[in-house]
Amino acid sequence: MSTHVTRSPVPPLDDLVERLRTIWDSACFTNDGPLVQEFEQILRERLEVPLGFATANGTLALQLAFSGLELSGEVITTPLSFVATSSSLQWMGLTPVFADVDAETWTLDPESCRERITPRTSAILATHIYGLPCDVDGLGAVAREHDLALVFDASHTFGCRYRGRPLASYGDVSTLSFHATKPFHTAEGGFVCATADGVAHRARIQRNFGFDGLDSLQVPGINAKLSELHAALGLCLLPGVERGIEARRARFESYRAALAPAGERARLARIPDDLDYNYAYCPVLLESEEAVRRAWMALLDLDVYARRYFDPPLNRLPWTSAQRTPVAEDLCPRLLCLPIFEELPDREPERIASALLRSLDGGGVAPPSAGTSGA
């Protein structure tokens, strides 16, 4: 069987059937039903965000964040992310303006953001890429100085704690994705974490067509509700989250040990001391795009499908404007994500890492660029 970069956790079927039985009994499938309410309550406590709520997916969570904050004009954002980070801006009529990332942390560089501010700028949208924390203090300072909203795409962060609190609790608004490929999932789903009452209220009613109460419609909304079926799946998967992190941590450490001989030629993400990481991704930075091609082919020989998350940089897409971001443009083609998930056999990281190490000196042909297809 082929090995992919991740494998979605599956709950015990009996647990899910038990949850589904309550839906069958009540015939309540959606519209803020009891399972969504229970799910949201647990997540608000877990994420330490009293005003959080669930959405149908992570892209709509981003869009509700922008509309809740009443953003307009330009939003400064990162080229190193999944396409939805910037396409969601464009879908909302906002203009993504790309700043560069930091070469060490791979996240948005506050100084580069500062240089891209214009009178039309309304917010900074940064991604905690692979669950690694942005410079929350630096970005916060720039946002405060220029009266900008600070939004974090925290799609990759479920289970990450940074400086003693959940990483998704930072910023004016943070959003998560619960897509099946993410560190925790509801098949499709998302979450909005807002800190201000007004923003949370606006975003929340816009999730349900703009209904505020039974028949009051003051703002135009959309349908971004999570269904009871999706909430049932999430409730069944929550108890396994810590076990999943622990299993991935062990595999990450195996990769680290096995790749150590390559030093900077195959460098793993640097995990800050004050981060409790969720080990949802295992990105490795190689010396060149050519090295990535050779590694990708070498792993394919083992029936292992590594992914080029996230290439190309988003400022190189045909529909975005081409602000130059030299650091991101250098990093994106050199990043390769290795398989990491609970069921990955114990010895696989070692086998994958040795094939990768051998490929650093071998030959190969070009793989397709995979950064913009699939999550």
Ligand X SMILES: *Cc1c(COP(=O)(O)O)cnc(C)c1O
| 346: exposed, middle or buried (Cβ count in 10 Å: 0-12, 13-18, 19+) | exposed
Minimum CB separation of residue 108 from ligand X in Å reads 12
Nearest 5°: phi and psi at 197? Answer: -55, -50
Closer to ligand X by Cβ: residue 5 or 356: 5
Beta carbon nearer to ligand X, 58 or 110: 58
Letters for 116-135 (x = contact with ligand X by CB under 6 A, - = none) are -----------x--------
158 lines the binding site for ligand X (CB under 6 A): no
Q: Does 375 bind ligand X (CB under 6 A)?
A: yes
Q: Which helix (H) or strand (E) holds 68?
A: helix 58-68
Q: Which of 85, 169, 174, 186 binds ligand X (CB under 6 A)?
A: 85
Spatial distance between the Cα atoms of 123 and 148, rounded to a whole number of angstroms: 5
Residue type, 30: T
In whole angstroms, the minimum distance from the beta carbon of 225 to ligand X comes to 14
Give me the residue whose beta carbon is nearest to ligand X: 58
Beta-carbon contacts of residue 338 (< 8 Å; ≥ 6 apart): 5, 255, 282, 283, 284, 299, 306, 349, 352, 353, 356
- Residue in this structure with the two tokens 């289970």, named with its chain if needed: 159
Q: Closest distance between ligand X and the C-beta of residue 62, in Å?
A: 6
Q: Does residue 84 belong to the site contacting ligand X (CB under 6 A)? A: yes
With CB under 6 A as the contact rule, the residue among 155, 169, 186, 315 that binds ligand X is: 155
236, 102 contact by CB (below 8 A): no
Closest distance of CB 230 from ligand X, Å? 11
With CB under 6 A as the contact rule, the residue among 102, 153, 228, 311 that binds ligand X is 153
Determine if 159 is a binding residue for ligand X (CB under 6 A). Answer: no
For residues 64 and 148, which CB has a smaller minimum distance to ligand X in the complex?
Answer: 64
Query: Taking contact as CB under 6 A, which single stretch among the options 136-144, 148-156, 158-166, 215-223 is the one that binds ligand X?
Result: 148-156
Indicate the residue among 127 and 206 with the shorter CB distance to ligand X.
127
Using alpha carbons, select from 363, 359, 270, 323 the residue that is nearest to residue 79: 323
Q: How far is the CA of 103 from the CAs of 20, 71, 321, in angstroms?
A: 47, 29, 22
Q: Is 177 in the site for ligand X (CB under 6 A)?
A: yes
3-state SS, residue 260:
helix
Is residue 320 part of the contact set for ligand X (CB under 6 A)? no
Q: Which stretch binds ligand X (CB under 6 A): 56-64, 68-76, 113-121, 249-257?
A: 56-64
Contact between 187 and ligand X per CB under 6 A: no
Q: DSSP assignment, residue 131?
A: G
CA–CA–CA angle 11, 40, 17 (5° rounding): 30
Shortest Å, Cβ 260 to ligand X:
28
d(C-alpha 89, C-alpha 108), whole Å: 17
Name residues whose C-beta falls within 8 Å of residue 200's C-beta, 6 or more positions apart in sequence: 51, 53, 68, 192, 194
Give the Cα separation of 117 and 370 in Å (integer): 31
- Part of the chain binding ligand X (CB under 6 A), chosen from 55-63, 114-122, 138-146, 216-224: 55-63
Q: Which is nearer to ligand X, 19 or 230 (CB)?
A: 230
- The 10 Å Cβ neighbour count of residue 292 is 24
Q: Of 6, 57, 86, 112, which one interacts with ligand X (CB under 6 A)?
A: 57
Residue 3 bridge partners (DSSP): 304
How many positions of this chain bind ligand X (CB under 6 A)?
A: 15
Which residues make up the interface to ligand X (CB under 6 A)? 57-59, 81-82, 84-85, 127, 153, 155-156, 177, 179, 190, 375
